[in-house]
Amino acid sequence: MGDFSLLAAYKQEFIDGFLTTLSASLLALVLSLCVGTIIACLRLSQVQLLEWIGTAYVEFFRNTPLVIQVFFFAMGLPSLGWNISEFTAGAIGLSIYTGAFIAEALRAGIQSVPRGQMEASRSSGMTYIQSMRYVILPQAFKIVIPPLGNQCVNLVKNSSVLAIIAGGDLLYAADTVSSQTFQINLTYLFVAALYLVITLPLSFGVNQLERRLARQS
Amino acid sequence: MIQFEQVNKYFGDFHVLKNIDLKIHSGEVVVIIGPSGSGKSTLLRCINRLETVTGGKLIVNQTDLTDPRADINRLRQDIGMVFQHFNLYPHKTALENISLAPRKVRKTPVDEATKQAKQYLSKVGIPEKADAYPAQLSGGQQQRVAIARGLAMKPKIMLFDEPTSALDPEMIGEVLDVMRDLAREGMTMVVVTHEMGFAREVADRVIFMDEGMIMEENAPAEFFQNPQEERTRRFLSRVLKH
Ligand SMILES: Nc1ncnc2c1ncn2[C@@H]1O[C@H](COP(=O)(O)OP(=O)(O)O)[C@@H](O)[C@H]1O
Ligand SMILES: [Mg+2]
């Protein structure tokens, strides 16, 4: 396989890459949740134009490659005179892409709550917002947790797209180190393990949450 | 208290309610019967504007429901609704189901709302189920919680849409008992049901609907003994025979 001690010399590259992957994922997670919520609201709004915009968004970003979207933000925008860092471009690309999937998960979750729930809460005098907040969303939340967890894990893995635009993430670090040490197998295996350090606890956490919510009902 | 004047309603091209004229007074118990698909639920759901009418005038508690500026949330606070399938909130306990609207809409403090919720739960006969979730209750118990939930807003009108149709036969009685008590206390009630015994005993007036029209209405004794319309007679002979 190779010599592990060769990699030790690149400790700092790996740490930087790990932190970049982690922070890009976190930032994109928060942003994509916002984007996803807004788009899901548009799709559920029952206003024809807004619904159409929401649907167009989801279908466009879900059905085009993430790499192209990130390229656009990293190279396309600067070519139009709007300079943003590779990190920002990557995080925005990831947010917009993941937001489309999250929007779909949220919409499906909200729509799976039986209609009678909204009717019951509205007929007791609660406003639409109150009904959503106290009756519909808590039920939708349980349904949405598993797909949302999946999106979260996908997001971390997809953040490796930053490597393509020299975004300094984990995969980028691996590319750099392997090209200098020629320890290709070892380097990529090691980096895969570092991804697992993020994604495995995430999967585990989602499973736990899912189980706890299931017990409640 | 409730006044339909030449109310019409369409679902697309489908004419569900045809020239409905109906007046319901405070304290009255009105039972609506009729074959499935005749528009009973739709008529009931117009009263708290779960459905909007297409034409005519509908006034409930002095509020004109055809006025787009009508404050519907305010109107609904005074109208309790009980559904065929209960529609309890599955993620909340019986007590929370009952206290939610008083807390959020009437802004009743939590402990006060909880105390009142317990009283309503006793009123419907299951004080021991306060902390149970809907899934842990029988159908009859769920429906009684749903009635308590409606009452907790201290409504002036209670609407019931086939409240016993989804229940096992042995549980129908316990729900009808609660409704009978309510009627005795003077609650204004509009009840869609197939329970002819309840109609005969509790109703002040029975209304027969068919194909979106009110075909006949009368006091229960007269209505059941001496139906005027051929269609009423046919309907009654079908439901009373078995
Ligand atoms: N939201 C709706 N859209 C279209 N048609 C409906 C809708 N709700 C009810 N209907 C139709 O209106 C008719 C009357 O329905 P409903 O009032 O539920 O009758 P009932 O309660 O007497 O069985 C039925 O034919 C039903 O299919
Ligand atoms: Mg019905």
Residues 6+ apart with CB under 8 A from B106: B77, B153
- B225 alpha-carbon distance from chain centroid: 25
Report CA(B231)–ligand 1 centroid distance (Å): 20
* Other Cβ atoms within 10 Å of A18 Cβ, number: 18
Nearest by CB: B76 against A122, A142, A217? A122
Note every long-range contact of B197-204, with CB atoms under 8 Å and residues 24 or more positions apart, other chains counting.
Answer: B198/B31, B199/B31, B199/B33, B199/B224, B200/B224, B202/B29, B202/B31, B203/B29, B203/B30, B203/B31, B204/B28, B204/B29, B204/B30
- Can you give the C-alpha Rg of chain A in angstroms? 21
> Which residues span the domain enclosing B138?
90-152
pLDDT at B77 over 70: yes
Q: Compute the distance between CA of residue A116 and CA of residue A99 in angstroms, rounded to an integer.
A: 29
Instruction: Band the pLDDT of A209: cuts 50, 70, 90.
Output: confident
Nearest by CB: A123 against B48, B91, B104? B48
pLDDT at B96 over 90: yes
CA angle at A35 for the pair A205 and A165, rounded to the nearest 5°: 85
At B203 the pLDDT is 96
User: Domains of chain A (ranges plus CATH)?
Assistant: 4-216 (1.10.3720.10)
Structural domain contains residue B195: no
Structural domain contains residue B174: no
B101 vs A contacts (CB less than 8 Å): 121, 124-126
What pairing do the DSSP bridges indicate for beta strands B55-60 and B63-64? antiparallel
SS3 call for B163: coil
Rounded to two decimals, the ipTM of the complex is: 0.93
Structural domain contains residue B72: no
For residue range B119-175, list pLDDT tens digits in order: 999 999 999 999 999 999 999 999 999 999 999 999 999 999 999 999 999 999 999
Please give the tally of structural domains in chain B.
1
At A70 the pLDDT is 93
Query: What mean pLDDT is reported for chain B?
Result: 95
Q: Which residues pair with A126 in a beta bridge?
A: none
* CA of B12, closest atom in ligand 1: 4
At A196 the pLDDT is 96
Residues 6+ apart with CB under 8 A from A49: none
pLDDT at A5 over 90: no
Structural domain contains residue B56: no
Instruction: Tell me the angle at which helices A184-216 and A11-44 cross, rounded to the nearest 10 degrees.
Output: 40
Q: Mean pLDDT across the stretch A108-129?
A: 95
At B105 the pLDDT is 96
At A217 the pLDDT is 60
Structural domain contains residue B192: no
